[in-house]
Chain A
Amino acid sequence: MAALIAALITGFTTGGLSCMAVQGGLLASSLAQLIEKDLLGKRGGRDQWNIGLPIFLFLISKLAAYTILGGLLGGLGKFFQLNPLSQAVLQFIIAFFIIGNALRMLNVHPIFRYFTFEPPAFITRLIRKKTRQAGSFATPIMLGAMTVLIPCGVTQTMMAAAIATGDVLSGAALMFAFTLGASPVFFLLSYFATKLGALTEKYFTRIAAVVLIVFGLLAVNSGLNLLGSRYSFSSLAEGVVSALEVRHQGQASATPGTDLVLNVVDRGYRPKRLHAPAGVPLTLTLVTKEVHSCSRAFLIPALDYGVILLATGEEKVQIPPQEPGTILPFTCSMGMYSGEIIFDL
């Protein structure tokens, strides 16, 4: 559920803007011109409400097309059983792609133009022909479906995330949430396309680029967490925070022969830092209570341990004796939530 909400927010915050930035409002403005020509021209602007209908149909069609695409990508991901290492590599590729796209949008250097997917000429020609065929509501429906052929940078990133779900329904739900989130901005863009000047577009492009860089860095953070690195941004931030706190405050520790208890909640792991004695075997008990986020997919990369926890329940993990000073990072399978066990002297 958390992944779907994140996809919805991503769509709302960057998806719509990125569509505008990458597609330059072309489809939207073509659509707006089509609508104005087709409806306003014929009816003399009498029925203002109908102007929004073709845009609505366009977005519904786009939503359906991307949901189907998400399902297909999720199904494709089933064939690639991703372990933490390959998921980390995927996150780094996504980060590379997102940041490259952001730098392209900021016009840092023409080389970054290669970060965008350029559809073959026959596809753009086909879309252009459909755009010209004004006169019926079939046109916006057709155009909406065709946007799957020219996905923007953020959409392409979400498509990679749909593959990573490895499940038809999850992939479809992810793309549905993302496209739904992007729809309001796209609707407004389409509606006011002709009123948006080049300056406004440039301004929004820059905002979208900055947001993309943040998302790129989050992907790097996820990749580092999946590798069990202590140098992920979240681990470093946690280190700084805990250095400022009184030792063991908000942390848990265990004595030999006792369990370490980690509460798995929707927003991560509590506490994020556990202390344990070195040199003795330990049992880590993972406790869930009505948890529905990706924190249920629990990994300890260094032990090559992974489990999908029940929404409510307990799972015991046997941890072999560790050297004093060892730090054992744990994370969710997406690398979004993380924490660590510190083996004291």
Chain B
Amino acid sequence: MKRVELRVMDMHCTSCALRLQELEDLLAGVIRVEASYRKGKMTVTFDESKVTVKDLVAGARKLGYTAVE
């Protein structure tokens, strides 16, 4: 189990945080996504044997966001 904090500066509303939570469904191995529009970042708890940070970044891009470690 690993936790990583990613900056997501292109969120433009509080519901973007809600959208980023979709990573929990999109990627097997993502356990929890805590995204904050105010802070412009998300904290992801994931199973590193199933998913990598690179996958998280790619997943965020698929949802329309640029995540940076």
Question: Residues of A with Cβ closer than 8 Å to B?
Answer: 21-24, 26-27, 107, 110, 113-114, 116-119, 121, 124-125, 127-128, 132, 150, 198, 205
Contacts and interface: CB of A to CB of B under 8 A. Distances in A.
B40 A24 contact: no
Given A24-B15, A113-B40, A150-B14, 4 more contacts: A23-B13, A27-B15, A113-B37, A117-B14
25 contacts: A22-B13, A22-B14, A23-B13, A24-B12, A24-B13, A24-B15, A24-B16, A24-B19, A26-B13, A27-B15, A107-B12, A110-B9, A114-B38, A116-B14, A116-B38, A118-B38, A119-B14, A121-B34, A124-B17, A124-B18, A127-B18, A128-B18, A128-B22, A132-B25, A198-B64
Interface string B39-50: 010000000000
A117 B38 CA distance: 9
Contact of B21 (A21, A116, A117, A124): A124
A205 B9 CA distance: 17
Contacts of B64: 198
Contacts of B15: 22-24, 26-27, 150
Interface size class of B (residues with CB under 8 A): 10 to 19
Contacts of A132: 25
Given A21-B13, A107-B12, A132-B25, A26 B18 contact: yes
Contact of B17 (A107, A114, A118): A118
A18 to B, nearest CB: 10
Main secondary structure of the interface of A (DSSP, over half): helix
Contacts of A116: 13-14, 37-38
A304 to B, nearest CB: 41
Interface of B: 9, 12-19, 21-22, 25, 34, 36-38, 40, 64
B30 to A, nearest CB: 13
A63 to B, nearest CB: 20
Contacts of A127: 18
B37 A26 contact: no
Contacts of B37: 113, 116, 118
Nearest to B40: A110
Contacts of A205: 12
B43 to A, nearest CB: 10
Contacts of B38: 113-114, 116, 118
A343 B5 CA distance: 66
Q: Which of A21, A107, A117, A124 has the most CB of B within 10 A?
A: A124
B12 A125 contact: no
A280 to B, nearest CB: 59
A34 to B, nearest CB: 14
Nearest to A124: B18
